[in-house]
Amino acid sequence: MISLSVTASVGPALRMLEQAAKKAAKGLATGTKHAASIIRKNAVDSMPQGNRRNRSKPGQPPFKQTGRLARSLRFDSTNDGGAAIFSNRRTREGFVASLMESGTAKMKPRPFIRPAVTKSLPRLPVLMRTEIAKAF
């Protein structure tokens, strides 16, 4: 009769897994910030140049008249490791951005963020994989 006894310490393996998880989370956070940056750029680039007489039509992105709306768009990381594109609603430009995106009772929407997200979607998986790989 043969008796075999194996003992192993799981501590080092768990530490390696924890380190890998931290690196992956860092890469994911960086990738999410880059994704938000790409979406913001696509949103700003979608706004054609206009003037006060030449206004955008419903369903089209708003025209750049002064550039204040485009400059008001920001992106930042969130507490849960994600990222957000925002315009401060307390400012005039932030308030206008929300009205343009969703419309009002008297004005049809002139979306520019949602189409930018749709346009950016094909690039995002590759971007995320690249950033996670860079973290290792």
DSSP letter (8 states) at residue 112? S
Domain ranges for the chain, please list them.
Answer: 30-135
pTM of the model: 0.77
**3-state class of 37 per DSSP?**
helix
Tens of pLDDT, residues 5-18:
666 677 787 888 88
Q: How many CA atoms lie within 13 A of 108 on its CB side?
A: 7
Residue 71 sits at the vertex; the CA angle it makes with 69 and 72, to the nearest 5 degrees, is 65
Q: Which parts of 7-112 fold into alpha helices (H)? A: 11-45, 68-72, 92-102
Tens of pLDDT, residues 29-77:
888 888 989 999 999 999 998 877 888 889 999 988 888 888 888 887 7
